[in-house]
Amino acid sequence: MSRQPTTASATAGSLTHLAVAGYRSLQQLTLPLGAQPHGGLTLVCGANGCGKSNLYRALGLIGAAARGELVAALAAEGGLPAVFWAGPERTSSAMRRGEQPVQGSSGRREAARLRLGIAGETLSYAIELGYRAEDHTSAFVLDPEIKREWIWAGGPFHPRSLLVQRTGAVVERCGEGGRSQPIALEVSPHESLFTAASDPLEAPEVFQLRRTILSWRFYDSFRTDRQAPARSGRIATRTPSLAADGGDMAAAVQTILEIGDSDAFQAAIADAFPGCHLTVDTSAPLFQLQLHQPGLLRPLEASELSDGTLRYLLLAAALFSPRLPPLLVLNEPENSLHPDLLAPLARLIAAVAERTQVWVVAHAEALITALEDSPGCTLLRLERELGATVLPGQTVLERAAWRWPA
């Protein structure tokens, strides 16, 4: 029997904007996200070096904040000196017109701030990081510190909609009439409010938003080499959503066949590979994927499939998850796929985007063309202007849809 996958539980409401400031080429950028009642598609494209991966990473950093791993994630990227916007604090119109050389004070430590924010229909969040305060007793002068965090109700920030605020080591709940009540003291500058104040009774908004962000799924170029996790078996347990490395693909496919929309899944496989269908050999604890193809006397296992075929099957297994995440992020899913597979891939993505929010970074014009007219698609064609990522044609009103809390 085939069942429809459940619609993603949008506990924090659909996301409407992503805002980033001071991170790599994202000097100051607010982007609208494709949002419709149950899903929406955000399609990010642009020339090499325009900032697509930086945006993908920025989303990943918000995920790291929710897991309590933001400072470690920034350290893994080379620390603040590497990730701070390397241009001047302000870019004048004369600089943009080329009438004045690019100059300024990129190195003012105390002024350097990296800010990330996400606006949702019901809850929004922003975080600000900077260098630690001058401390002559410590050698860790380049450590990033979480300076401030905010959670507020609704999309655009207004002081009256503030629910929870973190200033330095103190997290407080903002009550009626401006009264606030501390809910965590002595919070480490490396710890976000998501881990410092996650009690569901004391801070339900923090708990709810954290749970939503933790369930975002990121899929970035699945490995398909001979030693790729997807090619070797793994002890199978029920797997409603595929792991980021695809190592549990056979279990994820078996889960789709048992409790997901198996008919549509098999139709999507046949759409890409005519006459083919998938089964899973479950006779041993290490489940084996089997692709049945016309003309062969036996099905082929994951270890025998071509790179492109395996990658497509991994994408299909991720997109047919019986438990869709509230946000599904695909970084350059078309890599190493033959152009013939791009139209079926676009159909797959568009169908999922009717049920949950999907963010796709894409290069292939054929994929972009096939997706841009799908319902609820927001196409973001990024460019670079004096080193900074920009979204050309954005109006003042569109930019004003996001305001950083002060």
Ligand X SMILES: Nc1ncnc2c1ncn2[C@@H]1O[C@H](COP(=O)(O)OP(=O)(O)OP(=O)(O)O)[C@@H](O)[C@H]1O
Residues of this chain that bind Mg ion (CB under 5 A)? 53
The window from 83-91, 112-120, 139-147, 306-314 that contacts ligand X (CB under 6 A) reads: 83-91
Q: Which does 284 bind (CB under 5 to 8 A by kind): ligand X, Mg ion, none?
A: none
Supply 126's token pair: 């922003």
Q: What is the rounded distance in angstroms from the CA atom of residue 141 to the CA atom of residue 332?
A: 36
Residue of closest CB approach to Mg ion:
53
| Per-residue exposure over 168-203, b if at least 16 CB sit within 10 Å of its own CB, e if not | eeebbbbeeeeeeeebbeebebbbbbbbbbbeeeeb
User: Least Å distance between CB 46 and ligand X?
Assistant: 6
- Closer by beta carbon to Mg ion, 82 or else 142: 82
User: Least Å distance between CB 52 and Mg ion?
Assistant: 5
Q: Select the residue interacting with ligand X from 32, 39, 51, 333 (CB under 6 A).
A: 51
Helix (H) / strand (E) element for 64: namely helix 52-67
Q: Which does 50 bind (CB under 5 to 8 A by kind): ligand X, Mg ion, none?
A: ligand X
Q: Which does 279 bind (CB under 5 to 8 A by kind): Mg ion, ligand X, none?
A: none
Could you say whether residue 142 binds ligand X (CB under 6 A)? no
Q: What is the rounded distance in angstroms from the CA atom of residue 319 to the CA atom of residue 328?
A: 8
User: Least Å distance between CB 333 and Mg ion?
Assistant: 13
- Closer by beta carbon to ligand X, 83 or else 380: 83
- Closer by beta carbon to Mg ion, 215 or else 389: 389
Helices (H), 249-325: 249-259, 262-272, 307-319
Could you say whether residue 25 binds ligand X (CB under 6 A)? yes
Q: Which does 131 bind (CB under 5 to 8 A by kind): Mg ion, ligand X, none?
A: none
Q: Which does 54 bind (CB under 5 to 8 A by kind): Mg ion, ligand X, none?
A: ligand X
Q: What is the rounded distance in angstroms from the CA atom of residue 384 to the CA atom of residue 40?
A: 26
**Ramachandran sector of residue 331 (left: φ over 0; alpha: ψ -120 to 50; beta: rest):** beta
Alpha carbon 288 to chain centroid distance?
A: 30
Q: What is the rounded distance in angstroms from the CA atom of residue 287 to the CA atom of residue 289?
A: 7
- For residue 227, the one-letter residue type is Q
* The residue to which tokens 């975080």 are assigned: 127
- Closer by beta carbon to ligand X, 83 or else 203: 83
Q: Select the residue interacting with ligand X from 20, 50, 164, 209 (CB under 6 A).
A: 50
Could you say whether residue 59 binds ligand X (CB under 6 A)? no
Give the residues lining the site for ligand X (CB under 6 A): 24-25, 46, 48-54, 83-86, 387
